[in-house]
Amino acid sequence: MSTFTAPKGTYDLLPPSSAAFLAVRQELAAPLRRAGYGYIETPVFEDTKLFSRGVGESTDIVTKEMFTLTKRGSEDLALRPEGTASVVRAVLQANLHKQGNLPVKLWYSGNFYRYERPQKGRYRQFSQIGAEALGAEDPALDAELIILADDGIRALGLTDYRLLLNSLGDKQCRPVYRAALQDFLRGLDLDEDTQRRAEINPLRVLDDKREAVQAQLAGAPLLRDYLCEDCKAYDEQVRALLTAAGVAFVDDPKLVRGLDYYTRTTFEFVHNGLGAQSAIGGGGRYDGLAEMLGGPSLPSVGWGLGVDRIYLALEAEGVTLDLPATTSVYAVALGEEAKNVLFAKATELRRAGVATDLAFGVKGIKNAMKSADRSGARFALIAGDRDLADGVVQLKDLTSGEQTAVPLDALVTTLKEKQL
């Protein structure tokens, strides 16, 4: 056993679970590809100010959870705690918003980092699929992204989840609500840190998960009662498009999410089988983020879905994904000459698109066939000196046990015909 272990709050992704994680990523990304979203990758570390300015200096992410790196030179860097700010930075830096039709539609997949108190479903390194559409203020775009997320989740076979929906208003109506909420919060019995947060960004208090705080928020003013006419109309159009597409949602007037940049449409997917860590993804509109990062006005909307949480949700519902076999054919050589021949045939089969593995360092047919069974392969190729003298290999169906001799020069064709 190694003297080293994975850092606290992280875990190794190993077979066979890793195949399911890959399948989750691919299933969630498939609707985005069909809708014209291009793939983007950004660095795992960025200028710390990108997140403090974009995510919000009063958020828990910036004040408590961000991993900052030991300085070398004058750079102040942090591991990315979320994906949106990096994507907006990349779009602005590359001037993608000036190179074609808007919106710029992008998706990404990767790991993100927060100094969390580790528990099941909450890790210090976690995996997400994200999507962003930058450069258009259109309720149909909000609805499109929500529908694409719902399509991906549903395609995995999940059913026991809810979509929570809210509107956070805009720069016209938000300040009026902010003032009313602050007046309400000043009358509560809150600790010093929460009082300070209420003065900087009172909506953050609504996101406080502590029962003692939530109990006092029962009579808090609701943002939906302060929406201007434009925001009301925008919200109604988003909801109408979701309803027409058959996407069910639950109104949640206290939903604010954990980031400061959201405006108007805000949403979250929660799974009923995950306990306290029930959120499996979410997002919203962030019309002012590009300007906060020094760019032009670039109204945008996006989301992130947690691969780790969705994997746990699949377990909670007992959903087993239909995963392709990693090995279709397992080759077993009886002798050095046969091994050389089967090694060449394995290479030929792989190049022909047939997933093939070979018994390495295994002594004896009995142990080799046990390895073949454990591999999950459908067929075993077995060859010894007598088979080679006859120009054949033995093809054994590992399900039925049926075994037939196949000419070496017809092996690839024969296996391809079996649709491997």
DSSP for 25-52, please give it: HHHHHHHHHHTTPEE----SEEEHHHHH
157 and 54, same structural domain? yes
Q: Point out the domain boundary residue: 292, 317, 342.
A: 317
147 and 78, same structural domain? yes
| Extended strands (E) in 274-378 | 279-285, 300-306, 329-333, 356-358
The answer to whether position 234 is within a domain reads yes
Q: What is the pLDDT of residues 138-172, one digit of tens each?
A: 999 999 999 999 999 999 999 999 999 999 999 88
The answer to whether position 130 is within a domain reads yes
- Residue list for the binding site for L-histidine: 82-84, 114, 128, 132, 257, 261-262
The answer to whether position 335 is within a domain reads yes
d(CA 106, CA 93): 15
pTM of the model: 0.89
Q: Point out the domain boundary residue: 296, 317, 338.
A: 317
Q: Residue 88 maps to which CATH number? A: 3.30.930.10
Q: What pLDDT is attached to residue 322? A: 87
Q: Residue 361 maps to which CATH number? A: 3.40.50.800
Q: Point out the domain boundary residue: 269, 285, 317.
A: 317
d(CA 41, CA 107): 9
357 and 312, same structural domain? no
**Structural domain total, the chain:** 2
89 and 61, same structural domain? yes
d(CA 131, CA 302): 5
241 and 333, same structural domain? no
290 and 362, same structural domain? no
394 and 298, same structural domain? no
Domain span holding position 346: 329-417
3-state class (DSSP) for residue 65: helix
395 and 302, same structural domain? no
Residues in the chain: 420
Mean pLDDT, contiguous 10-residue spans, the chain (420 residues): 87 90 96 97 93 70 77 81 95 93 96 88 92 97 98 97 95 88 87 83 80 86 91 97 98 78 91 90 93 93 96 95 87 90 94 92 80 87 91 92 92 83
Q: What pLDDT is attached to residue 76? A: 87
- 77 contact partners, CB below 8 Å, separation of at least 6: 45, 46, 47, 48, 68, 69, 71
- Specify whether the backbone of 59 is left (phi greater than 0), alpha (psi in -120 to 50) or beta: beta
407 and 291, same structural domain? no
The answer to whether position 85 is within a domain reads yes
102 and 22, same structural domain? yes
113 and 74, same structural domain? yes
Q: What pLDDT is attached to residue 253? A: 87
The answer to whether position 48 is within a domain reads yes
- Residue list for the binding site: 82-84, 114, 128, 132, 257, 261-262
Q: What pLDDT is attached to residue 139? A: 97
The answer to whether position 147 is within a domain reads yes
Burial of 8 (0-12, 13-18, 19+ CB in 10 A): exposed
Indicate the residue type of 265.
T
The answer to whether position 146 is within a domain reads yes
The answer to whether position 196 is within a domain reads no
165 and 96, same structural domain? yes
